[in-house]
Structure 1
């Protein structure tokens, strides 16, 4: 934190989206960014080297759920764990992997065979996720799905990413840690902070430590996931706590 405060122009501030900038809700399609987050990020972006959102969501979805983000100075959004990139109003990405639509086509029959009719499928284009939060027994449904979905992912050359009552099938070769590490090298960062809430953010925490830069990891705390809190330098109380921490940073920058 001292390095970030002393040299903000060399700092990269990385953030997850769901559970970090946006509260977790039963229906992922109805998620919305914390109402204060865009303004706080805009203030932050005026001081630091870069603000980068690293999310499993498609870039377009993250921007749709986060109105106002496009006004954040120098913002970069790395969607689909880094396979997609939004910067200066433009999106770049490799072609979609063929295994995702094939797995998505098989999912309804698989869920029906398991008797899981109250889970929801989210087709992200470059990934497909199964959410169990709205099932009568969310944790039981999650446990019942892990092995069958892992087998389905392997069949189509995908990997499975567990999260907060969600199992996501996505292409291998990229995760939040790899995406963040590449971004830090590209920007010639001199310090880094990453804020996340879920298991997929552990790779980004590892990237902060592997970078060799002065860095700080922040957990947007919840009762659902404790692994991040155990590894974080700072734990805050959900998206409200994240926004408060970022506001403290902007206030400190303004005073210096």
Structure 2
């Protein structure tokens, strides 16, 4: 933190989206950025070298869910870059660049409903109990938060989804009551490391909340830069808190930290 304050122009501020900037909600389509976090990032974007979001969401979705009615949103953060789909997509200055979807995604999309039915899991898209499929274009996530027994549904899904992923050339990314099937070969650590090198970073902060953020934490450690890792704490994930330098109370705590950092960098 001292290095960031001493040389803001060399600092990269990296963040996850869900559970870090936006509270976790039963339906992932209802997630929205904490307005206080968005306001703090707008301030920070003009003070540091770069602000980058590294998320499993499609990059354009993170921007859309980062809108704040009547106030500044993520699209207003100066120089913001969003590395979506674990780094496979990039949003910058209103433009998205990305490779074509991997062929295995079509097979996963076609077979998931039947797999869920065979396991006796009800597929739901509304308020009724069941599991939900989130189609991200290049990945598909199965959420069990709405199931009658979320943990039991997650346990039942682990082995069949791992088998389907292996057969489709994909990999499984576990999260908070969610299992995501996504392309292999890219994770938040690779994405963050490449961005730090691209920007010639001299210090780095990364904040996350879930198991997928462990790779980014490791990238901070391996970068050799002065760095700080921040856990947006929850009762569902303890592993991240054990590896973090700072622990804050969910997205509201992240927003408070970002605001305090912006205040420190802007001076009296």
Unaligned runs of 5+ in 2: 68-72, 123-129
Q: Is the 8 A contact 2:19 2:208 kept in 1?
A: yes
Instruction: Tell me by how many angstroms 1:90 deviates.
Output: 1.1
TM-score after normalising by structure 1? 0.99
Instruction: Tell me by how many angstroms 1:124 deviates.
Output: 0.4
Misfit runs of 4+, over 3 Å? none
Question: Of 200, 209, 214, which residue of structure 1 is paired with 2:212?
Answer: 200
Q: Is 1:214 paired with 2:219?
A: no
Moved more, 93-102 or 126-135: 93-102
Cα separation, 2, equivalents of 1:13 and 1:37? 13
Query: Partner of 1:156 in structure 2?
Result: 168
Instruction: Tell me by how many angstroms 1:178 deviates.
Output: 0.2
Partner SS state of residue 192, structure 1: strand
Question: Of 172, 181, 184, which residue of structure 2 is paired with 1:169?
Answer: 181
Partner SS state of residue 61, structure 1: helix
Partner SS state of residue 195, structure 2: helix
CA RMSD in angstroms comes to: 0.7
Q: Is the 8 A contact 2:37 2:259 kept in 1?
A: no
Q: Is the 8 A contact 2:59 2:83 kept in 1?
A: yes
Instruction: Tell me by how many angstroms 1:37 deviates.
Output: 1.9
Cα separation, 2, equivalents of 1:35 and 1:76? 18
Question: Of 96, 101, 126, which residue of structure 1 is paired with 2:101?
Answer: 96
Question: Of 110, 114, 118, which residue of structure 2 is paired with 1:109?
Answer: 114
Aligned residue pair count = 256
Query: Partner of 1:16 in structure 2?
Result: 16
Q: Deviations over 1:234-253 (max 9, x none)?
A: 00000000000000101101
1:12-161 alignment runs, 5 A limit: 12-67=12-67, 68-117=73-122, 118-161=130-173
Cα separation, 1, equivalents of 2:219 and 2:141? 25
Q: Is 1:189 paired with 2:204?
A: no
Instruction: Tell me by how many angstroms 1:254 deviates.
Output: 1.3
Q: Deviations over 1:96-154 (max 9, x none)?
A: 11111211110000000000111000110000000000001001100110000000000
Instruction: Tell me by how many angstroms 1:70 deviates.
Output: 1.1
Cα separation, 2, equivalents of 1:146 and 1:104? 17
Query: Partner of 1:233 in structure 2?
Result: 245
Q: Is the 8 A contact 2:37 2:256 kept in 1?
A: no
Partner SS state of residue 36, structure 1: helix
Cα separation, 1, equivalents of 2:92 and 2:7? 23
TM-score after normalising by structure 2? 0.95
Cα separation, 2, equivalents of 1:152 and 1:55? 23
Cα separation, 2, equivalents of 1:18 and 1:25? 9
